[in-house]
Chains A and B, each alone.
Chain A
Amino acid sequence: MTTDQEQAHKSHRSHKSGASSKKKKKNHGSSELDAKERNPKAFAFNSSVKAKRLQSRAAEKEQRRLHVPTIDRSTGELPPFIVVVQGPPKVGKSLLIKCLVKHYTKHNLSEVRGPITVVSGKQRRVQFLECPNDINGMIDAAKIADLALLLVDGSYGFEMETFEFLNILQIHGFPKVMGVLTHIDKFKDVKKLRKTKQRLKHRFWSEIKDGAKLFYLSGLVHGKYPKRETHNLARFISVMKTQPLSWRSSHPYILVDRFEDVTPPGRVHTNNKCDRNITLYGYLRGSNMKKGTKVHIAGVGDFASTGITSLADPCPLPSAAKKKGLRDKEKLFYAPMSGLGDLLYDKDAVYININDHLVQFSKVDEDTSASGKGNDRDVGVALVKTLQNTRYSIDEKLEQSFINLFGRKPPSASDDNVDANESRYSQRHVSILDREDDDRLDDKEVSDDDGKKELIAESESDDSDGDNNCTMDDDHEGDQQITAFSHDLKEEIEFHNGRFRRRVISSDYKYNGDLQDSEGDDMQELDDDDDDDDDLGDHMDVGSESSEGDEDLNSEDEGENVSKWKESLLAKTVSRQNGNLMQLVYGRNVTASTTTSQEAHDSSESDDSDEDFFMPKGERTKKLSDNLDVDIVDTEDSSKFNNIQLKDWSDEDLVKSIRDRFVTGDWSKAAQRGLGTEDVGDNETVFGDFEDLETGEVFKGTPEDNDKSSGSFRMGDEQEMEERRLKKLALRAKFDDDGSDLSDEEEHNKRKINQNQTDAGGYFDKLKEEIELRKQMNIAELNDLDEATRVEVEGFRIGTYLRLEIHGIPFEMFEYFDPRHPILVGGFALGEENVGYMQARLKRHRWHKKVLKTRDPIIISVGWRRYQTIPIYAIEDRNGRYRMLKYTPEHMHCLAMFWGPLAPPKTGILALQTLSNNQTGFRITATGAVQEFNHAAQIMKKVKLVGGPLKIFKKTALIKDMFTSDLEIAKFEGAAIRTVSGIRGQVKKAAKVELGNQPKKKGESVKEGIARCTFEDRILMSDIVFLRAWTRVEIPRFYNPVTTSLQPRDQTWKGMKTVAELRRDNNLPVPFNKDSVYKPIERKPRKFNSLVIPRKLQAALPFASKPKDKPARKRPSLESRRAVVMEPHERKVHALVQHLQQIKNEKMRKRKTKEQEKKKAYEAEKMKQEQLSKKRQREERKERYRREDKHKRTRRKVED
Chain B
Amino acid sequence: MGKTSYVRLKGSRQFRQRLLLSTLSSTPILVEDIRSDDTSPGLRPHEVSLLRLIEKVSDDCTVEINETGTKLRYKPGVLMGGKYLVHDCGLNRSMGYFLEPLILIGLFGKKPLSIRLKGITNDSKDPSVDTFRTTTLHMLKRFGVPLEGLELKIESRGAPPLGGGEVVLGVPIVPNSLTAAHWVDEGMVKSIRGVTFSTRVSPQIANRMIYAARGVFNRFIPDVHIFTDHRSGPAGGRSPGYGLSLVAETTSGCLISTDVAISYPKADETDVMEDSEEKPEMLPPEDVGVQAASMLLGEIEHGGVVDSTHQGLLFLLCALCPPDVSKIRVGKLTPYGIETLRNIRDFLGVKFVIKPDPTTNTVILKCVGCGLKNLSRKIA
Task: Report which A residues bind B (CB closer than 8 A).
Answer: 71, 73, 250, 287-288, 290, 292-293, 536-540, 575, 577-578, 581-582, 584-587, 594-598, 601, 617, 621, 628, 631-642, 644, 646-650, 655, 657-665, 667, 670, 672-674, 676-678, 680, 682-683, 719, 774, 777-778, 781-782, 785, 789, 792-795, 829-831, 834-836, 902, 904-906, 929-936, 1037, 1039-1040
Contacts and interface: CB of A to CB of B under 8 A. Distances in A.
Contacts of A664: 220-222
Contacts, number: 285
Contacts of B88: none
- Chain A to chain B: the 7 pairs with minimum beta-carbon distance, closest first: A537-B356, A935-B60, A633-B11, A831-B26, A932-B378, A641-B308, A781-B325
A809 B354 CA distance: 38
B223 to A, nearest CB: 8
B357 A539 contact: no
Contact of A793 (B186, B187, B351): B351
Contacts of A682: 358-359
B139 interface: no
Given A634-B13, A639-B126, A680-B357, 5 more contacts: A633-B12, A644-B295, A680-B356, A830-B26, A830-B372
Given A601-B11, A633-B13, A663-B189, A642 B359 contact: no
Interface stretch (B32-40, B160-168, B226-234): B32-40
A581 B221 contact: no
Most-contacted residue by chain A among B12, B100, B222 (CB, 10 A): B12
Nearest to A621: B37
Contacts of B182: 777
Nearest to B345: A586
A585 B13 contact: no
Nearest to B192: A662
Interface stretch (B151-159, B201-209, B309-317): B309-317
B360 to A, nearest CB: 5
Contact of B378 (A581, A782, A905): A905
Interface of B: 1-2, 7-17, 24-27, 33-35, 37-39, 59-61, 77-78, 96-97, 100, 110, 124-127, 180, 182, 184-190, 216, 219-222, 251-252, 276, 291, 293-295, 297-298, 300-301, 303, 308-313, 322-325, 327, 332-336, 338, 341-342, 345-349, 351-361, 363-364, 366-368, 370-373, 375-379
A650 B336 CA distance: 30
Contact of B298 (A287, A633, A644, A672): A644
Nearest to A536: B358
B295 to A, nearest CB: 6
A661 B300 contact: yes
A673 B251 CA distance: 13
B370 A830 contact: yes
Given A641-B336, A677-B357, A836 B78 contact: yes
A537 B125 contact: no
A647 B297 CA distance: 9
25 contacts: A539-B356, A577-B355, A585-B354, A587-B342, A601-B10, A617-B39, A621-B37, A633-B13, A637-B12, A637-B14, A637-B17, A639-B310, A639-B336, A647-B298, A649-B219, A664-B220, A674-B184, A674-B186, A677-B355, A785-B366, A793-B351, A795-B368, A831-B26, A902-B375, A905-B378
B342 A667 contact: no
Contacts of B190: 662-663
A267 to B, nearest CB: 25
A774 B127 contact: no
Contacts of B126: 638-640
Nearest to A935: B60
Contact of A594 (B313, B346, B361): B346
A933 B77 CA distance: 10
A778 B325 contact: yes
B353 A578 contact: yes
Given A578-B354, A936-B60, A657 B301 contact: yes
Given A640-B126, A670-B188, A794-B323, A829 B371 contact: yes
Nearest to A645: B298
Contacts of A649: 216, 219, 293-294, 297
Contacts of A677: 184, 355, 357, 359-360, 364
Contact of B375 (A640, A663, A831): A831
A83 B34 CA distance: 55
A642 B299 CA distance: 12
Contacts of A1039: 1
Given A639-B336, A680-B358, A830 B348 contact: yes
Most-contacted residue by chain B among A621, A660, A661, A794 (CB, 10 A): A661
A778 B324 contact: yes
A824 B363 CA distance: 42
A578 B355 contact: yes
B323 A288 contact: yes
A538 B361 CA distance: 9
A660 B325 CA distance: 29
A831 B33 contact: no
A541 to B, nearest CB: 13
Given A578-B353, A836-B78, A655 B298 contact: no
Contacts of A660: 188
A655 B221 CA distance: 12
A655 B291 contact: no
Nearest to B343: A597
A906 B375 CA distance: 10
A71 B325 CA distance: 13
Given A577-B355, A640-B309, A794-B368, A933 B78 contact: yes
A648 B338 CA distance: 28
Given A581-B356, A594-B346, A640 B300 contact: no
B363 to A, nearest CB: 7
A905 B377 contact: yes
Most-contacted residue by chain B among A582, A830, A902 (CB, 10 A): A830
Most-contacted residue by chain A among B322, B336, B367 (CB, 10 A): B336
Nearest to A931: B379
B69 to A, nearest CB: 13
Contact of B276 (A642, A661, A662): A642
Contacts of A834: 26
Given A649-B294, A663-B189, A785-B353, A597 B342 contact: yes
Contacts of A831: 25-27, 375
Given A661-B303, A830-B348, A581 B294 contact: no
Contacts of B353: 578, 582, 785, 789, 793
B317 to A, nearest CB: 13
Contact of B341 (A287, A290, A586, A665): A586
B292 to A, nearest CB: 10
A648 B294 contact: yes
A1083 B152 CA distance: 70
B169 to A, nearest CB: 17
A707 to B, nearest CB: 15
Given A661-B301, A674-B187, A641 B334 contact: yes
A597 B15 CA distance: 14
B324 A577 contact: no
Given A793-B366, A932-B110, A663 B351 contact: no
Nearest to A633: B11
Contacts of B16: 637
Given A641-B308, A834-B26, A931-B379, A673 B355 contact: no
A631 B308 CA distance: 21
A902 to B, nearest CB: 7
Contacts of A933: 78, 375-376
A905 B110 CA distance: 12
A673 B357 CA distance: 10
A662 B190 CA distance: 6
Given A662-B188, A777-B325, A778-B324, A674 B180 contact: no
Nearest to B190: A663
Contact of B379 (A636, A665, A782, A932): A932
A641 B359 contact: no
